[in-house]
């Protein structure tokens, strides 16, 4: 037999548990100087990444 919850999980308890599941956007910073290659920034080699098109 399967495990069955003893009591119904309330909406508040369920939503409180899920409050940590939200996604957040990465913080992109305009960097004018030297960059570490593994960091995510808006610019690469002085070019805006948003304006470049996939080739």
| Residue-by-residue DSSP string for the chain | -----SSPPPHHHHHHHHGGG-----------S---TTS--SEETTEETTT----
Contact yes or no for 28/40 (Cβ under 8 A):
yes
Confidence of residue 26 (pLDDT cuts 50, 70, 90): confident
Polymer length in residues for the chain: 55
- Kindly state whether residue 16 falls inside one of the protein's structural domains: no
Instruction: Kindly state whether residue 37 falls inside one of the protein's structural domains.
Output: yes
- How many domains, the chain? 1
Query: 55: domain range?
Result: 26-55
Mean pLDDT confidence for 12-27: 89
Q: Is residue 47 part of a domain?
A: yes
In a domain, 10, yes or no: no
Is residue 3 in a domain? Answer: no
pTM of the model: 0.38
Whole-number Å distance between alpha carbons of 19 and 30: 30
């Amino acid at each position: 037999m399967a495990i069955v919850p003893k009591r119904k999980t309330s909406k508040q308890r369920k939503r409180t548990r899920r409050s940590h599941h939200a996604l957040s956007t990465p913080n992109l910073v305009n960097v004018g100087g030297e960059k570490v290659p593994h960091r995510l920034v808006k610019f690469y080699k002085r070019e805006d990444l948003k304006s470049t098109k996939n080739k």
